[in-house]
Structure 1
Amino acid sequence: MIYFAVISIFPVGLALAAISDLLTMTIPNRISAALIGMFFLVAPFAGLDLNTIFLSVAAGMIVLICGFVLFATHTMGGGDVKLLTASTLWFGFNSSLFTFMLTVAFVGGALTLSILILRSRSQEILAYGLPIPDSLLVAKKIPYGIAIAIAGLMTYPEAPIVQAAMRSIL
């Protein structure tokens, strides 16, 4: 039962955040709050010790502080910062966090370039009636929650909470 919770809660939260960011350019606070709350609920039962949980919190605080600087300089949206912080808890303070962050950067770069290309062709896209959300074509922002979600889904199997949950069922 815990294994199912570990492998489903975080990916579902990421998917909901990505869909919301794609369609509305916002990530509801309740998604990030739920991911944070569920981490603290599930982590001990998944087999993470207190030291690992503490290191996850420390990593989350570091990401939150760095994210606040990015938010204050209008480089990243508040919802993106909160989602990235919540995601950090699930990866912890270890090499899987580095892999996740690096993947976020690469996916985010590819997403940004793709959206800039779409926006440069927005008149043709609108003329053809292609089913692309208007927010991607006319907004000034980039829905970075999509990149965070894709990177999270790609790298989540490496996260210590997943590894601990797998060990507990074997």
Structure 2
Amino acid sequence: MHAVQTLLLLIFPILVIVAALRDATSYTIPNWISLALIAAFPVAALALGLPLSTIGLHLGIGVAALALGMVMYFLRWIGGGDAKLFAAAALWIGWPATVTFLGATGVAGGVLSVGLLGLRSAYVRPYLPIGPPWFARLIEPGQDVPYGVAICAGALTAFPASTLIGRL
């Protein structure tokens, strides 16, 4: 049973990494990633024996994160895929690791934004090697920030403190 629980827990880091890679290379996070995270959560939670009250708390945190993500989307701070990934990740993270998730995501987003601004500057950009088309688009001035990368960093930072990992 321990091996099955471990395999179920691996779904989360694998999918948030896939989301970050897709966002960095195409500026999109496919809906199937967030849907797979949402669908896999109750299976993992029940397999790990989370009490229904804890599962309910996780659901509440996921809904609150979706509301926050929608506000950030409407303010044009993040994309729609980012908002959905943010909520799906918060569902898995739970309380109290959500505090770490929010802080680490914010810090990672700031570092990512400053780093991309530096790479996109007129002083640095001419010296960057020509790479694949996704990299050229990533360092193009005026492009968006693939915030799925920051969400992934925050999620991976907070996941070890989640109630799911604590039950393993």
TM-score, structure 1 normalization: 0.89
Which of 62, 72, 84 does residue 82 from structure 1 map onto?
84
The AA in structure 1 aligned to 2:151 is: I
- Residues 40-91 of structure 1 deviation map (CA, whole Å, 9 limit, x = unaligned): 1211111211111111111111111111111112111111100010001111
The AA in structure 2 aligned to 1:9 is: I
2:127 corresponding residue in structure 1 = 124
Match runs of 1:61-100 below 5 Å:
61-92=63-94, 94-100=95-101
Which of 146, 150, 153 does residue 150 from structure 1 map onto?
153
User: Aligned equivalents of 1:79 and 1:37: distance in 2?
Assistant: 17
> Identity over aligned residues, as a percent?
34
Unaligned runs of 5+ in 1: none
1:115 corresponding residue in structure 2 = 116
Structure 1 position 24, deviation (Å) = 0.2
User: Aligned equivalents of 1:73 and 1:33: distance in 2?
Assistant: 24
Which of 150, 161, 166 does residue 164 from structure 2 map onto?
161
Structure 1 position 6, deviation (Å) = 3.7
TM-score, structure 2 normalization: 0.90
Structure 1 position 103, deviation (Å) = 0.5
- Residues 114-166 of structure 1 deviation map (CA, whole Å, 9 limit, x = unaligned): 011111132332xx3356712211252100101111121122111001111x2
CA RMSD of aligned residues (A): 1.5
- Residues 3-46 of structure 1 deviation map (CA, whole Å, 9 limit, x = unaligned): 32243100000110011011001100000100010001211111
The AA in structure 2 aligned to 1:31 is: I
- Bigger share in helix: 1
Asked if structure 2 preserves the Cα contact closer than 8 Å seen for 1:56 and 1:91, the reply is yes
- 1:101–1:6 Cα change, 3 Å: farther
SS in 1 for 2:69: helix
The AA in structure 2 aligned to 1:102 is: G
2:107 corresponding residue in structure 1 = 106
Unaligned runs of 5+ in 2: none
Structure 1 runs of 4+ aligned residues shifted over 6 Å read none
2:143 corresponding residue in structure 1 = 140
Which of 29, 32, 36 does residue 31 from structure 2 map onto?
29
Q: How many residues align?
A: 162
